[in-house]
Amino acid sequence: MLDNVKESIQHSIRERFSSPILGSFTFFLVIFHWRTVVLIFSHEAKGEALITELERFWPHSFKSYILPIIFALLYSFTYPYLRMFYALFLQRVRLLQIKNELASELAIAEAQNKIEERKLVIENSTRELKQYLKIVESRLDADLAGGKVSSDVVQRFEQKFGKMLKHDYEVL
């Protein structure tokens, strides 16, 4: 029997606090009349002495009920909008984070493209220089065979450009 009464009271309390208006009204009523709540739970008097003490603290004015109702209604009707604005704010922050991540990835990709373009330019320049040096070498060999160039000119040419002609270097 007592368990049924206890369950009924618990269900009633849960229902009242789950209702946005009744729950917030109860909350604001307790906030506005905190002295009464403290008195109920801390006063040593029993029965009629407690009732007289409570009547002294409990305001019987219209204002003591209207203010909690106004605050409860304001809270109940503005809370969903506040929650929606907060969700929109979080969504906006996440979108800005994604935008910044994409911008940094784009900058990295552009830098890599520039590096690749410069590699190609350097490789083409190196190839052209090697071809030019081969042409110069063949002309130098022809002039050397014809007796037009001395051997010390050939040695200086080989010291300066010989490594490039003998080895293929990768230029990064």
- For 63-76, the pLDDT digits (tens) are 677 778 888 888 77
**Cα–Cα distance measured from residue 145 to residue 140, given in angstroms and rounded to the nearest whole number:** 8
Three-class HEC string of the chain = CHHHHHHHHHHHHHHHHHCHHHHHHHHHHHHHCHHHHHHHHHCCCCCHHHHHHHHHHCCCCCHHHHHHHHHHHHHHHHHHHHHHHHHHHHHHHHHHHHHHHHHHHHHHHHHHHHHHHHHHHHHHHHHHHHHHHHHHHHHHHHHHHCCCCCHHHHHHHHHHHHHHHHCCCCCC
Select from 139, 132, 170, 171 the least CA-distant residue to 154.
139
Domain enclosing residue 33, as ranges:
2-119
Residue 22 lies in a domain: yes
pTM of this prediction?
0.41
Residue 131 confidence (pLDDT): 87
Q: Establish if 165 belongs to a structural domain.
A: no
Answer for the pair 140, 157: CB distance below 8 angstroms, yes or no: yes
pLDDT reported for residue 81: 86
Query: Looking at the 3D structure of the chain, how many domains does it have?
Result: 1
Q: What is the mean pLDDT of residues 10-33?
A: 71
Residue 19 is assigned to a structural domain of this protein: yes
Judge whether 130 lies within some domain: no
**Domain presence at residue 87:** yes
Predicted pLDDT of residue 25: 75
The reply to whether 97 falls in a domain is yes
58, part of any domain? yes
Q: Predicted confidence band at 120 (pLDDT cuts at 50, 70, 90)?
A: very high
Look at 163 and 116; give whichever has higher pLDDT: 116
Q: Taking residues 51-72, report their average pLDDT.
A: 71
Instruction: Note whether residue 143 is domain-resident.
Output: no
Mean local confidence (pLDDT), 116-137: 88
